[in-house]
Amino acid sequence: MYETIALVGATGAVGRIVLEQLVKREFPYRRLKLLASERSVGREVRVGGETITVELLEPDAFKEIDLVIASTPDEVSAEFAPWAVEEGAVVVDESGYWRMDPTVPLIIPEVNPEAVESHAGIIASPNCSTTQMVVALAPLHKAAKVKRVIVSTYQATSGAGLAGNEELHDSVRSALAGQVHPPSTFQYPVGFNLIPQIGSEKYRGYTSEEMKMVYETQKIMGDENIQVCPTCVRVPVTIGHSESILVETEESLSAEEARDLFHNAKGVTVVDDLDSQQYPMPRDCDGKDDVFVGRIRKDLSCSNGIAFWCVSDNLRKGAATNAVQIAELLVKRAAASIEKS
């Protein structure tokens, strides 16, 4: 059990779900501190049966803290994480700042839990679109070794935070009234629209969001030879990222074999009956922690290819749930260490 844990970014969309998960999963701690910027200081937050007042995120806030779970912008994490580590805390960070740091493990508990052993105070949780894809890829990789992935994502507006969902609602209302809502969070009005750009241009016409999927997949799966070709699209859906994934493996898998691998994979739920019109959809995955897979079929253009459709709640497994699961790995590791001693 951790004596004292802290949540940074407690009042944000992901932070609220982290708190919910800590209670639901009965995470072991004696005291919880909520930390945020000045504008949220003094706000009271209900956690289980307890009301906790939000405190200021500052260096002294991490004294006597054992574990930190954080959901903040990159620049905030870059500043505060070293403060926490210096005070002896372990930081589970959901920002993008530390993910590709070679000294920081990037972890999905269903895929590479052993990486928790190599942390030096900071552990990164992957990007939401990467997380759900890699959870689905992992059983295929273990069975037949993934060579190449072509993925198109259809990402919910909540991926841009509370402001993203507010802009979608405003955009839809304006469109229904025959007006155009001026965008601020997105490049264009998102209501009744698709925007094939998430992030800035990063490399050879690929965006920063797309290159995250390339580099993070290779790091998590421990194989820089896996080729990933991503296209990331913002869609007018509030919660739940969807992905169309085509995987080429070294060894051939039938659709039935792939379906069995998904059925037996931890954290994956199969919804796959085309005749009965059963397949994963964002509205059905909202509020659930698993990665949902359907439309599983052989690739018509490649003998070693498997195509499937993948949906997950981007605020849960894509963010909050994965971070709490990493924290649970740390608890198990500490318990095992005590037993050995």
Q: What's the CA gap between 247 and 256, in Å, rounded? A: 15
User: 136 pairs with which residues across the strands?
Assistant: none
Does residue 119 have an active-site annotation? no
Per annotation, catalytic residue among 119, 141, 181, 241: 241
Element (H, E) at 31: strand 29-36
Ordered alpha helix ranges (H), the chain: 13-24, 74-86, 128-144, 162-176, 208-221, 255-263, 282-285, 321-340
Does residue 232 have an active-site annotation? no
For CA atoms 146, 149, 154, 155, the dihedral sign is positive
Per annotation, catalytic residue among 128, 232, 285, 310: 128
The DSSP call for residue 316 is I
Kindly state the tokens that stand for 121: 């105070």
Residue whose structure tokens are 């796959």: 272
Residue whose structure tokens are 């706000």: 43
Write the single-letter amino acid at 217: T
Residues with active-site annotation: 128, 241
